[in-house]
Amino acid sequence: MKEKEYRSLILKDLEKQVMDSISISLHDLAVEIVHTGFRCSGCGRCCKFSTGDNSVLLTYFDIDNLKKSGNINAIEPTVAEEDMFLADTEGNVHTFGWRLKRKTNGECVFLGEGGCTIYPFRPLLCRTYPFYIAEGKLEISECKGEGGILPLYHARRLANEVLQRYIIELRDTIMTYRHFKEGPLFLASQPASDYKLILHDSRGKLILDDK
Ligand code: SF4
């Protein structure tokens, strides 16, 4: 299958998921959350490197919130930390989207002694953790709080945010695909020494100077 056809199929599937999200019932979602159960134990593991990958990926909704709170400098491109890079035939490295910076010990840059220091402005991923929706279904990440008793009013608020996050992430991904015009990319173990870092997101393409 040609690259263009492949991307068009992915786009169609993402657009269908957005359309299908209209039929997700907030009430059913809240009931499912109550049945799964969740009570934050305040362990902060989700903000620390102890969970393995604690990357907080950001939507443009989150980035705008971070701007409002004066914390826009806390974001960075989601460059792969492993030893593989997405490269093009000219040796440039491509990456997709933004995440929160982390301290040298791996903790989120906003984790303080008393917990999250930007609590009212925290990203959707943090607001909804450990819940998320994938392909229309509620999923839960590993969390010590799973199974805890959760009042229905709290579950309703959570359901609302989980659904909002799902739709915003889908829309961000759709816009990223629409803007993305590059040729096929492939995995490379080493970027060229003078490579450009090219970031793609829902607002277009950005060539970054500092690698
Ligand atoms: S923004 Fe706040 S809640 Fe989210 S990972 Fe960082 S410290 Fe934790």
For residues 87 and 97, the answer to whether their CB atoms sit within 8 Å is no
Is residue 102 in contact with ligand 1, taking CB distance under 6 Å?
no
pLDDT tens readout for residues 192-206: 677 788 999 999 999
pLDDT of residue 60: 94
Give the Å distance between the CA of 177 and the centre of ligand 1.
28
Give whole-number Cα distances, 57 to 90, 99, 175, 188, 203, in Å. Answer: 28, 4, 16, 23, 16
Q: Which two tokens stand for residue 80?
A: 């792969």
Report helix, strand or coil for 130.
coil
- Where does residue 63 rank: exposed (0-12), middle (13-18), buried (19+ CB within 10 A)? buried
pLDDT of residue 210: 55
Tokens 């950005």 — which residue? Answer: 206
pLDDT of residue 141: 92
Rounded to two decimals, the pTM is 0.91
* CB burial string 187-197: b at 16+ within 10 A, e below: ebeebeeebbb
- Distance in angstroms (rounded) separating the CA atoms of residues 51 and 44: 10
Q: Which residues of the chain have pLDDT under 50?
A: none
Task: Tell me the helices (H) and strands (E) count for the chain, helix number first.
Answer: 5, 12
Q: Which atom of ligand 1 is nearest to the CA of 108?
A: 6
- Distance in angstroms (rounded) separating the CA atoms of residues 145 and 110: 21
Give the Å distance between the CA of 108 and the centre of ligand 1.
6
- With the C-alpha atoms ordered 183, 187, 192, 194, is the resulting torsion angle positive or negative? positive
CA-closest candidate to residue 105, choices 63, 48, 175, 25: 48
Mutate to test the pocket of ligand 1, among 111, 141, 143 (most ligand atoms within 8 A of CB): 111
